[in-house]
Amino acid sequence: MLKTHTCGQLRTEHTGQRVTLAGWVNRRREHGGLIFIDLRDRWGITQVVVDANASPKSHAVMGDVRSEYVLQVEGVVKAREPENINPKVATGEIEIHVDKVTILNPAKTPPLEISGEHEVNEEVRMRYRYLDLRRPRMQRNMMMRYEALRFIRNYLGDRGFVEIETPILFKSTPEGARDYLVPSRVHPGKFYALPQSPQQLKQLLMVAGYERYFQVARCFRDEDQRGDRQPEFTQLDIEMSFVEREDILQLLEELVTGMVETVSDKRLARKPFPRLSCAEAQERFGTDRPDLRFGLELKDVSDIAGRSQFKVFTTTIEAGNKVRALVAPGCAAYSRKEIGELEEIVKNAGAKGLAVIAVEADGTARSSIAKFFEDDLMAELITATGAQPGDLILIVADQLQIVNEALSTLRGEFGTRLKLTNPEEMCFCWIIDFPLFVWNAEENRWDPSHHMFTSPKPEDIHLLDTDPGAAYCQQYDLVCNGYEVAGGSIRIHDRIIQEKIFSLIGLDIEQARERFGHILEAFEYGAPPHGGIAPGIDRLVMLMAGEPNIREVIAFPKSQRAADLMADAPSTVESYQLEELHIKLADNIEQ
């Protein structure tokens, strides 16, 4: 080793020892005959002192040293005088008096400051990701990510799980997200697909008798980016045999609780995790991934609104749609401009408009729609929403789905505006009891509400023939602070039911057998009842690290347009490579 200790290791108890350190120059402070260097490695920062009198040679070498030079220094650990102690650094009570300095490698001035406080443009960070990763924020995030994975592997290993790798080159399947395709050289005109998740493979591992499987699995989806979505991301894929929903929920809840408490400094807001049915979540929060760090629940005022003289409300109710409300506490004094902003939000969500009622100090209403309400009815409305004097009532009337979408977005907005989203808290909840299907009006067929391997509730299986829309499934999602962080289900292990689901979602038997023949066949060779769940590692680590974007917890992420700005991928390839793959580019594409 080129070092005897790390830069975060030495304390006063090492005083007098001769040590060798190696690392990067974090900062340099020169005082003529005396030079201080903060030497940095992964473990910390240690102050190195070079004295021109004590060691003229090393002083001369150190004179040429600049930021981010890679150094090896040899010297003696000395306790600092009390007035020189730096309490901000773990090693601040000692320093190394150096008599030998070796420049292992010089460094150009970096395009972004490693030790500085400056915010740096995202483009520069990605272009020089290896330098960005040197910075404390990214070092901390990468360490936390590894600690999380270590916790997970130990936890599951201790409970009899086995980690099994599944192929990256696999098969394209219909439905779901767009696949990343890999052309086959050996099979002209045929393609592998990168897995969107190891879903089928983990179920086949259950058929194969492994009973408790997990994998830290890379998944690929060729869809456009969001703050919490990258084209490749990491799932903790878990599958178990002979389990019921409760077994999976308990396992994962324990795992997540332990992981957060071990590797993160965030506080778990609620233990055990509350459970909400999908319907209840929609009713109370307008979404199936609510941020439960704060209240601001939605209230249905359809009945009251229907008795008003306000045409917009009455026609909405007559059409069988809904009028629902959100109360923004203390916002009665909102200006026209601020209300315009809120209006913009609901319109983006598809709503036609936003009705607002300000509750005055005396409890009366100030609103452009007040004239359509008898005083008693208005009082009833205010009571129903639970609004207090000084509050602002926000009302949207539309189809239930649009109302919920609009109000849940508004709710999120007020969570932020009113500082109700404590960044030090993680508030997990389970969402359960999802419908098995959602109706796809465009294609005139049922779509699986999650995926096509999710088992219906046993008591609802008979509905598949009569009323598929009424059937519920054994799906469960784990939600934290408004993010879906895990999803799973008890699976179908019966060929007949699986084929029935395929047909209900519009796959004809031929297609189903071509695409899923292997799994249908496997179900006939003794498939055990099984189920699982797949937490998104990137999202969980993002939340534990308090970061706003999963890029911050991925070492080499892609840009919004799915490019690697450092390596400049994707890139063109040599024409012989295309020939080998039997690929001809379209005429309008330049090679």
Partner RNA sequence: GCAGACGUGGUGUAACGGCUAACAUACCGGACUGUCAAUCCGGAGAUCGCAGGUUCGAGUCCUGCCGUCUGCGCCA
Q: Out of 109, 444, 571, 591, name the contact with RNA by CB under 7 A.
A: 109
**Of the listed pieces 175-183, 245-253, 383-391, 420-428, which binds RNA according to CB under 7 A?**
175-183
| Contact call for residue 385 and RNA (CB under 7 A) | no
Give the span between the Cα atoms of 77 and 90, in whole angstroms. Answer: 15
Whether residue 464 contacts residue 456, with contact meaning beta carbons closer than 8 Å, is answered with yes
| Contact call for residue 567 and RNA (CB under 7 A) | no
Number of residues that bind RNA (CB under 7 A): 68
Give the span between the Cα atoms of 215 and 484, in whole angstroms. Answer: 19
Whether residue 591 contacts residue 577, with contact meaning beta carbons closer than 8 Å, is answered with no
Task: Give 39's strand partners.
Answer: 25, 46
In this structure, which amino acid lies at residue 218?
Answer: R
Q: Which residue has the tokens 């008890």?
A: 490
Q: Out of 223, 265, 341, 508, name the contact with RNA by CB under 7 A.
A: 223
Please give the helix or strand (H or E) that residue 448 lies within, else none: strand 445-448
| Contact call for residue 583 and RNA (CB under 7 A) | no
Smaller CB separation from RNA, 3 or 78: 78
Please report, as residue ranges, which positions from 502 to 541 form the binding site for RNA (by CB under 7 A).
none
Backbone dihedral region for residue 231 (phi beyond 0: left; psi -120 to 50: alpha; all else: beta): alpha
Give the span between the Cα atoms of 273 and 476, in whole angstroms. Answer: 13
Closest by CA position to 547, among listed 125, 69, 145: 145
Question: What is the CA 184 to chain-centroid distance, rounded?
Answer: 33
| Contact call for residue 253 and RNA (CB under 7 A) | no
Smaller CB separation from RNA, 113 or 147: 113
Q: How far is the CB of 472 from RNA (least distance, A)?
A: 15
**Of the listed pieces 131-139, 311-319, 369-377, 553-561, which binds RNA according to CB under 7 A?**
553-561
Smaller CB separation from RNA, 264 or 475: 475
For 185, phi and psi rounded to 5 degrees?
Answer: -75, -40
Smaller CB separation from RNA, 155 or 414: 414
Give the span between the Cα atoms of 416 and 425, in whole angstroms. Answer: 14
For 382, phi and psi rounded to 5 degrees?
Answer: -60, -45
Smaller CB separation from RNA, 195 or 328: 195
Q: Out of 218, 229, 445, 513, name the contact with RNA by CB under 7 A.
A: 229
Contact string 304-343 vs RNA (x = CB under 7 A): ----------------------------------------
Please report, as residue ranges, which positions from 47 to 76 form the binding site for RNA (by CB under 7 A).
47, 49, 51-53, 66-67
Q: How far is the CB of 109 from RNA (least distance, A)?
A: 4
| Three-state SS at 219 | strand
| Contact call for residue 113 and RNA (CB under 7 A) | yes
Q: Out of 105, 119, 368, 525, name the contact with RNA by CB under 7 A.
A: 119
Please report, as residue ranges, which positions from 390 to 449 form the binding site for RNA (by CB under 7 A).
447-448
| Contact call for residue 383 and RNA (CB under 7 A) | no
Give the span between the Cα atoms of 466 and 488, in whole angstroms. Answer: 26
Smaller CB separation from RNA, 175 or 297: 175
Give the span between the Cα atoms of 447 and 466, in whole angstroms. Answer: 16
Give the span between the Cα atoms of 41 and 38, in whole angstroms. Answer: 10
Q: Which residue has the tokens 């001809």?
A: 584
| Contact call for residue 15 and RNA (CB under 7 A) | no
Q: What is the dihedral of CA 358, 360, 365, 366, to 10 degrees?
A: -60
Binding site for RNA (CB under 7 A): 27, 29-34, 36, 38, 47, 49, 51-53, 66-67, 80-81, 83-86, 88-89, 92, 95, 109, 111-113, 116-124, 126, 173, 175-178, 196-197, 199, 221, 223-227, 229, 348, 447-448, 450-452, 549, 551, 559-561, 563, 565
